[in-house]
Amino acid sequence: MSQPVLRFPPSDGGAWPALRTAWRARRRAAREPASLVLAPIRGGAAGLLGPDQRARLISLLTGTPDDGASRLRSWLERRQARQSALLVAPDRNTAVAFALRWGLDLSRIRVVASLDTLSAEQLTRDLTLSATKEPAWHSTRRD
């Protein structure tokens, strides 16, 4: 029997509510074992997870990278995106917007038809494939 998927709600608000949510998420992830950690990028709720949880973190990219957010909240969102094992976006435009704005590798982003119908089996398979995949041809130096 597999462990459950740990899901975090989006954090809407300013800097301090986002930081409070991120600390609570870190404590919750340490207490509750899960095979996958699923968190929306908005608010950076999973921005402070430990290394064990980050290895299973899948972030959901929605909307556009928020320029109007506070510095702390933007930092939490970028940190979560960069430390996620896998990123999932609803369409190609969203994936490219986040990749360009935050310097993310597009090969780490999966485009899915609907974020509401994500299955744990598909996410586990994508996570396994992304972990065993070689770096992109343009990101490695060839001698």
Instruction: Please spell the DSSP secondary structure of 60-115, one letter per residue.
Output: EP-S---SSS-HHHHHHHHHHHHH-SEEEESSHHHHHHHHHHHT--GGGEEE-S-G
Q: Left (φ > 0), alpha (ψ -120 to 50) or beta: where does 43 sit? A: left
Q: Give the pLDDT confidence of 47-93 residue by residue, as tens digits.
A: 888 888 888 889 999 888 876 668 888 888 999 999 998 999 999 99
| Domain limits, the chain | 5-131
* CB within 8 Å of 105: residues ≥ 6 apart: 99, 136, 139
Higher-pLDDT residue of 129, 113: 113
**Count of H helices and E strands in the chain?**
5, 5
Eight-state DSSP code of residue 32? S
Q: Give the pLDDT confidence of 24-33 residue by residue, as tens digits.
A: 888 888 888 8
Tell me the fold of 5-131.
Rossmann fold (3.40.50)
What is the reported pLDDT for 67? Answer: 66
CB 26 within 8 A of CB 49: yes
Structure tokens at 87: 């990123």
Residue 96 buriedness (CB in 10 A; 0-12 / 13-18 / 19+): middle
